[in-house]
Amino acid sequence: MCKIKYSIIYAVIRPQIKERISVGLIIIDGSHIDIRYSNRKLAALKYLYTESELNFVTDVVRSINKDGTIKTISDIEYLSRYSNNLISFSSVETMDLDATKENKDWLFNSYVGEN
């Protein structure tokens, strides 16, 4: 079984000091890419962003999940280098865990904290 690779999706709160909140996670196991995000954290951004900023971040995160924007690790690495001041992606990291559903759920809850 292959090891889990992941990238964290961040909503950037104050770019000047790199303050950010993890709102989603891209999980790669071999050739399959799973994109998860927290509706609760996206909803909480309404207290930190203007309405247009909130709409932008929410639309980007949700569209990544729907339209197959990310197909390869190279796509994720590109996003981690060329993000804007409202949303950013971490570089792809590898965790020494087998790519099981339980491990993916644990990783998501650890980095994004849906529960």
* Chain segment 19-46, per-residue pLDDT in tens: 999 999 999 988 788 899 999 999 999 9
Evaluate whether 41 touches 57 at the Cβ level (below 8 Å). Answer: no
pLDDT confidence bin for 105, thresholds 50/70/90 = very high
SS3 72: coil
- Which residue type sits at 23? V
pTM of the complete model beyond 0.95: no
CA separation for the pair 56, 52 (Å, rounded): 6
Q: Report the candidate in 66, 64, 79, 61 with the shortest Cα–Cα distance to residue 7.
A: 79
